Amino acid sequence: QQQVKQSPQSLIVQKGGIPIINCAYENTAFDYFPWYQQFPGKGPALLIAIRPDVSEKKEGRFTISFNKSAKQFSLHIMDSQPGDSATYFCAASSSGTYKYIFGTGTRLKVLA
Amino acid sequence: EPEVTQTPSHQVTQMGQEVILRCVPISNHLYFYWYRQILGQKVEFLVSFYNNEISEKSEIFDDQFSVERPDGSNFTLKIRSTKLEDSAMYFCASSDNRAEQYFGPGTRLTVT
């Protein structure tokens, strides 16, 4: 019940495409859902996060869509660029705990 | 922009040796965390620390592990007797609330 399932494992898109990465959870106590971007040899960098009281959040080219009833959330990257090539992790946490539960990661490659 | 820093960037040690990984969290943050990432796998929570004590720890964080905030700026993770399976990237993170966590660049620990 503590797992966060992430798909796909890897994704290749053309420049300008809109990659979509999906995550699903079981624990209804989760109330904070961040996305992290990680480049090789670097630490995860916070991209965008959402709480269950909204269904969508946009920051620049990054959008999170949230479906509370389905217990799913997804990251969309608009107008993707080669510089977006990285591994993306979704995560979840609840107010009663301090820890993040991470998904397994999606390796994105954006072709020039 | 303030950031979490970690030293060393790479540590090689022999099995059975003690290692100390060091972190300087963002200065006004109150919550501190250690996570690890075995090569190619997801990021896993180890421990959280608040108000000079452990708030939460995972089953990975056994008696071989300890954390300390020896002064007002550093946060350390000690592994008393390293095992081969401790080889991983270790990330420190900090936050000023329980939500947004900011990660450092990581220390790559190699146990031989």
Q: For A66-97, what is each residue's pLDDT tens digit?
A: 999 999 999 999 999 999 999 999 999 998 78
Cβ B52 vs Cβ B31: under 8 Å:
no
- State phi, psi for A82 to the nearest 5 degrees: -55, -30
Residue B41 near chain A (CB below 8 Å): yes
* Partner B, chain A 20-79, Cβ-Cβ below 8 Å: 32, 34, 36, 41-46, 49
**When comparing pLDDT for B40 and A5, which is higher?**
A5
Residue A104 near chain B (CB below 8 Å): yes
Q: Which of A99, A101, A102, A106 to mutate to test the interface with B (most CBs of B within 10 A)?
A: A99
**Nearest chain A residue (CA) to B91:** A43
Q: Which of B5, B42, B53 to mutate to test the interface with A (most CBs of A within 10 A)?
A: B42
Q: State the virtual CA torsion across A55, A58, A64, A69 in degrees, nearest 10.
A: 0
The string of DSSP codes covering B2-53 is ---EEE-SEEEE-TT--EEEEEE--TT--EEEEEEE-TTS-EEEEEEEETTE
Q: How do residues A3-55 score in pLDDT, each as one tens digit?
A: 999 999 999 999 999 999 999 999 999 999 999 999 988 899 999 999 999 99
CA distance A70 to B27: 39
CA distance A40 to A73: 25
Q: In the structure, what pLDDT confidence band is assigned to residue A1 with cuts at 50, 70 and 90?
A: low
CA distance B21 to A72: 36
Contact B103 A36 (CB under 8 A): yes
pLDDT at position B69 over 80: yes
| Chain B residues with CB-CB distance to A95 below 8 A | 98
Q: State the virtual CA torsion across A74, A24, A95, A53 in degrees, nearest 10.
A: 50
